[in-house]
Structure 1
Amino acid sequence: MNKLLLTLLIFVCTFSYSQSAPIIIDGNFEDWTSNLTTFTDTNETLDGIDLLEFQVTNDAEYLYLRIKANKEFDLTDGDLIPHNFFLYLDTDDNSTTGFKVRDDYGAELGIQFADRILFNNFTNTPKAQVNFAEVGFRSAPTVTSKEFEIAIPRASIPDGVNPLFPSSSVKILFRNRANFDWLPNLNNVFTYTFDETPVTPYQPIDINKTDANFIRVVAYNTKLNSLLDTNKLDEYERIIKVIQPDVIGFVESSDTTVEYIKSLFDNWLPLGTTDGWYVRKHGGEVTVSKWEILQEWDLDRQFPVLIDLPESYGTDLLYTNAHLNCCGANDRRQRQVDQYAAFVLDAKSPGGQITLPKNTPIVYSGDLNLVGLSNQLATLLTGQIQNIATYGSGAPLDWDDTDFKHDNALQTDIPMAYTWRSDGSNFPPGKLDFIIYSDYVLNAEKTFVIQTEEMPSDRLSLFGLQEFDTSVASDHFPVVADFSIINTTLSTEENFTLTNKVFPNPTSDLVNIQLRSFGNYDIKLFNTVGNLVLHKKEKSDLISFSTNSLSSGIYHLVISNNEGKTQFIKIVRH
């Protein structure tokens, strides 16, 4: 008996580590530096997902884990890319208690990621199922990736009785049961001891603008028309008033009307102007702007509009409010983002359904439901179209032929980037809402997510918010970005040198265009919903056309020449 025990001890290799560090759960891994505790697997040949290494650290509040594999998979979906990935935590560092995973691991917490099942394996409640919310589990990214980061609160009490971490040490074990991959392998034990060395605390983000001239864009999913729920309007009013948006895109607002949303904003944030707030609607996507909306276009669950920024900005803004299909609809989401990429590439080139002056700022935001393949985000950033036969060859989307950018907006008061949370769901919180932009033209001065439930009382009081404002309003949180325009990129010459004047404007019939030089010109007139109502090509320096067949209202004149220069002019017909 003693000889057998001695033999087992010889072949069991124990690894013990301890190291604290500040980590941000945002799907970026730059903060997981090489000097952090790292366990690397031995070389092996396996089918499917091969777990390569993991890292561990902690701060005063969380145990942090990072897992890396040989290929992309979806952490909380075992069907999209097959895997059966488990995490076992022996939180009392005692292999004889909890669920016996192996002779050397007795797990108090077991997580089966593929089916999103969590087991709380304390002595009195063996294999009691809990959910991600009861554990306080957080992870990123929400899309497929080769690596993921995880945060578990050290103060977690999943069953309401037994603290999850009763010991100063925890044994950690990863497993892919689909191919019998262990990390660490059999006869190896990994133990981590919490390091109480203080780390740099997270610095809260100031919600206020630092410059009144910045353009504040907000993406906000209002969950099943909840703006119509009078029991939620006080919460929405406090949130909107503290954010003070310039442009906001609501989604899941299909039952609201333009008049209703306008009345809310004119009451909550009166502009003191004759027209007040401008509102346009496209299915469930509602765009609200303090500046006039000149044109709009119809894409699948995506709503591009051209916003008439004040002259001091030297340009207009192409803003798209999007609500891509959810959940298992990977194919349709890909078609949607392919369609948008093709739309932007069309906008950058003369002709087609849209032609923008060079270097017009472009912002795309909304609930993108990126919960599956990472390809859709890649297309929105890079312009790499997948459905080439339908939407043409892709190309870089920004004006300097580079990628668009998206900042991982962090929550104002915790080092997390998730934008959706539903504690009644069997999914952990995730990043579903994005703001993507042309960083050749725009600089994101500040980005953040507001979740009032995670704000301390003094911060709530500072901004006039209440603890449950965001959770009462919606299961999504508002995502905010403040943009400045990089003035050196503005193409003023191209925007404003084609014409001497356009007259009369307003008009009751005839419109005359006096051009600066004789040449070939392409003239298009659009109504306010983006429909082409007049198109003519002439070689001249004075072009006239009649509006007699058009109804009264606002129209948008687009003048282009053979050199690719374009000018936009608003026409009013009495």
Structure 2
Amino acid sequence: MYKNNYWFFILIFLLSLNHTQLMGQKCHNRIIVDGLMHDWEGCETYCSDKIDDGKDVDFTRMWVTNDEKYLFIRIQLAKPLSLVDYNSLFLEIDGDHNAATGYRVNGIGAELGWGFGLRYGFYKHFSSADYISNLDVRYVILPSFTSTDFEIAIKLDAAPIRNEKIFTADTIEILLWDKQVGGDLLPDSGHVFHYVIQKAISSPYQPLSIEPPFETSLRLMTWNVFYDGLIDTIRQPIFGKVFKAIQPDIIVMEECWHSQANEVKQLFDQWLPLQKGSWKVIHTGEGLMLVSRYPVVKADPIFVGDNRNIAAYSIKTDLFNLDTLLLIGVHLSCCAQDNERIAETQAIMHYLGKHYSIGRNEDKLLRLPVVIAGDFNLVGSEIPYRNIVSNQLTGAREPWFTDLAPHQIDRPMAYTWRDYSKVFSPSRLDYIFYSPLLNPIHSYIFNILYLDENSLKRYGLKPTDLRICSDHLPLVVDFGSTVSPK
């Protein structure tokens, strides 16, 4: 009798709720999780919220879509925040379309509760709850620094505990929640947001080719090789296979702390022998290393405070209309050192303005093609990123640099760092920025975990080899013919 009454009142409660219904509209573009949001254009606003109805955090809008493998969620906030640092925000997902299972919160039964600031989540289906990690659900959130706009990916076949899948219904419910007294909800209290998972995906993700589109292009690569990976006898053979597969012309590497230029030169002469001459290797500062098939006419350290891992290299190339390339290799300060990263990016832009800019038509331009590449450790403040991609430090009409933002060859993601032994979710720490005089014609992040067997055999690699090499992934770009300054 009491059991029947319980379910009766649950039914009456659910029927009394205001339901914000979405019947599976699709985005026009394939979503690539890179933190830039360009591909969300054309997606309808699935759920919006009042301004200033929260306490510390104010949700404004949320979009949802999916492809054949991932659920994608985009979140907008009224004020900038770092979602990967401490906060009281939660993402709640009811994956079985059943309010009687999971956590009861605002009219839904959430099997998955993810604490953004906690950096872990909870899975609960019936009575007990279990802690889960970002690996358990393949959780990714970008950007990794402060923003008002974030995008999230969660694997649709995620089965974090006891092989129980989270998404067992076509219709799911999603809630954003600031878990404190007076905290904001999206949708608001008394409303339930539904999303219908799309099953018919017209164009599944196609792996990117790693081959250069033209023989005359210049291939540049950057990779943090994690604590002298090239001279580690266990990892060294795998590094050799990766470089052979990618066939770069210029490489800037980080964390070559104890690697000697001569021994690295011998490795590249063995791995990738040149028809004429041999590889040029320069070790700069503490752990920055440049490897180039082209002559390096100048290496100029840019020391900022205690950081000895920034340098400008002037490289002579044979690419049409690109006689000299200026490459700035970087390894910015790590972790909570926001002030240091701000000073380091300011120093880079000051160096370029002082030595490599010209005045034309009441404007200030770079007089050479310039690439800034390496491990930027961009977490915390967004100011170091803005220092590079805006014109606030240059006095120019337009920004000097564009964020290349390549994505992985085997999935629609742009994160460059992952270490599943740590609580941090995969992050985009490594970047390539290029100036307007350069023409990028192909780019990618080399990740092979989901690559097909034939491709792996061709490269002589195993799916998990890159995890053995480093916690960072290699970034690759092919530059074609350049344009002359106006």
Same structural fold, with TM-score higher than 0.5 when normalized by the shorter chain? yes
With over 3 angstroms needed to count, the CA separation of the structure-2 counterparts of 1:312 and 1:172, relative to structure 1, is closer
Partners of 2:209 and 2:189 in 1: CA distance: 49
CA contact (8 A) 2:280 2:296 kept: no
State the 1:454 CA deviation: 2.4
Q: Does 1:234 align with 2:237?
A: yes
Three-state SS of the structure 1 residue aligned to 2:480 is strand
State the 1:404 CA deviation: 0.9
Aligned to 1:53: 61
Aligned to 1:156: 158
CA contact (8 A) 1:258 1:281 kept: no
Question: Of residues 244, 253, 273 in structure 1, which corresponds to 2:256?
Answer: 253
Kindly report which structure 2 residues correspond to 1:421-570, keeping only aligned pairs within 5 A, or say none. Answer: 421-439=418-436, 441-489=437-485
Q: Does 1:220 align with 2:223?
A: yes
Partners of 1:141 and 1:297 in 2: CA distance: 31
State the 1:248 CA deviation: 0.3
CA contact (8 A) 1:278 1:292 kept: no
Question: Of residues 302, 305, 313 in structure 2, which corresponds to 1:305?
Answer: 313
Three-state SS of the structure 2 residue aligned to 1:459 is helix
Structure 1: tracts of 5 or more residues without a match: 351-356, 386-393, 491-574
Question: Of residues 134, 137, 141 in structure 2, which corresponds to 1:135?
Answer: 137
Kindly report which structure 2 residues correspond to 1:15-414, keeping only aligned pairs within 5 A, or say none. Answer: 15-17=20-22, 18-21=24-27, 22-36=30-44, 38-78=46-86, 83-102=87-106, 104-123=107-126, 126-178=128-180, 179-300=182-303, 301-310=309-318, 313=321, 315-349=323-357, 359-385=367-393, 394-396=394-396, 402-414=399-411
With over 3 angstroms needed to count, the CA separation of the structure-2 counterparts of 1:312 and 1:98, relative to structure 1, is closer
Three-state SS of the structure 2 residue aligned to 1:488 is coil
With over 3 angstroms needed to count, the CA separation of the structure-2 counterparts of 1:359 and 1:485, relative to structure 1, is farther
Three-state SS of the structure 2 residue aligned to 1:297 is strand
Partners of 2:357 and 2:369 in 1: CA distance: 15
CA contact (8 A) 1:140 1:148 kept: yes
State the 1:109 CA deviation: 0.7
With over 3 angstroms needed to count, the CA separation of the structure-2 counterparts of 1:4 and 1:210, relative to structure 1, is closer
Give the root-mean-square deviation of aligned CA atoms. Answer: 2.4
**Which of 304-313 and 48-57 deviates more?**
304-313
Structure 2 residue identity aligned to 1:472: I
Three-state SS of the structure 2 residue aligned to 1:64 is strand
With over 3 angstroms needed to count, the CA separation of the structure-2 counterparts of 1:408 and 1:304, relative to structure 1, is same
Structure 2 residue identity aligned to 1:457: E
State the 1:458 CA deviation: 2.3
Partners of 1:7 and 1:465 in 2: CA distance: 58
Partners of 2:154 and 2:51 in 1: CA distance: 29
With over 3 angstroms needed to count, the CA separation of the structure-2 counterparts of 1:5 and 1:213, relative to structure 1, is closer
TM-score of the two chains, using structure 1 as the length reference: 0.77
CA contact (8 A) 1:236 1:469 kept: no
State the 1:267 CA deviation: 0.7
State the 1:308 CA deviation: 2.1
State the 1:100 CA deviation: 2.4
With over 3 angstroms needed to count, the CA separation of the structure-2 counterparts of 1:9 and 1:175, relative to structure 1, is closer
Partners of 2:479 and 2:302 in 1: CA distance: 25
State the 1:169 CA deviation: 2.0
With over 3 angstroms needed to count, the CA separation of the structure-2 counterparts of 1:100 and 1:233, relative to structure 1, is same
CA contact (8 A) 1:20 1:197 kept: no
Partner deviation per Cα, 1:19-75 (whole Å, 9 max, x = no partner): 344322111223224444611113444443200111111222121111111111111
Partners of 2:195 and 2:483 in 1: CA distance: 52
State the 1:487 CA deviation: 4.1
Partners of 1:417 and 1:262 in 2: CA distance: 30
**Which of 30-39 and 323-332 deviates more?**
30-39
Three-state SS of the structure 2 residue aligned to 1:452 is coil
Structure 2 residue identity aligned to 1:470: L
TM-score of the two chains, using structure 2 as the length reference: 0.90
Aligned to 1:505: none
User: Which structure features the higher share of strand residues?
Assistant: 1
Question: Of residues 420, 425, 441 in structure 1, which corresponds to 2:417?
Answer: 420
Partner deviation per Cα, 1:319-358 (whole Å, 9 max, x = no partner): 11111011111110000000001000011258xxxxxx97
Partners of 2:18 and 2:131 in 1: CA distance: 31
Partners of 2:320 and 2:43 in 1: CA distance: 49
CA contact (8 A) 2:317 2:324 kept: yes
Aligned to 1:530: none
CA contact (8 A) 1:99 1:127 kept: no
Larger radius of gyration: 1
CA contact (8 A) 2:55 2:183 kept: no
Partners of 2:221 and 2:11 in 1: CA distance: 64
State the 1:263 CA deviation: 0.9
With over 3 angstroms needed to count, the CA separation of the structure-2 counterparts of 1:264 and 1:383, relative to structure 1, is farther
CA contact (8 A) 1:57 1:64 kept: yes
Number of paired residues? 466
Partners of 2:16 and 2:325 in 1: CA distance: 66
Partners of 1:449 and 1:312 in 2: CA distance: 26
State the 1:409 CA deviation: 0.3
Structure 1 residue identity aligned to 2:296: I
With over 3 angstroms needed to count, the CA separation of the structure-2 counterparts of 1:236 and 1:14, relative to structure 1, is same
With over 3 angstroms needed to count, the CA separation of the structure-2 counterparts of 1:133 and 1:7, relative to structure 1, is closer
Q: Does 1:14 align with 2:19?
A: yes
Structure 2: tracts of 5 or more residues without a match: 304-308, 359-364
Q: Choose between structure 1 and 2 for higher RCO, CA contacts under 8 A separated by at least 6 residues.
A: 2
**Which of 195-204 and 450-459 deviates more?**
195-204
Partners of 1:473 and 1:12 in 2: CA distance: 52
State the 1:466 CA deviation: 2.5
Structure 2 residue identity aligned to 1:298: P
Partners of 2:18 and 2:398 in 1: CA distance: 53
State the 1:154 CA deviation: 1.1
4+ runs of 1 displaced by more than 6 Å?
1-7
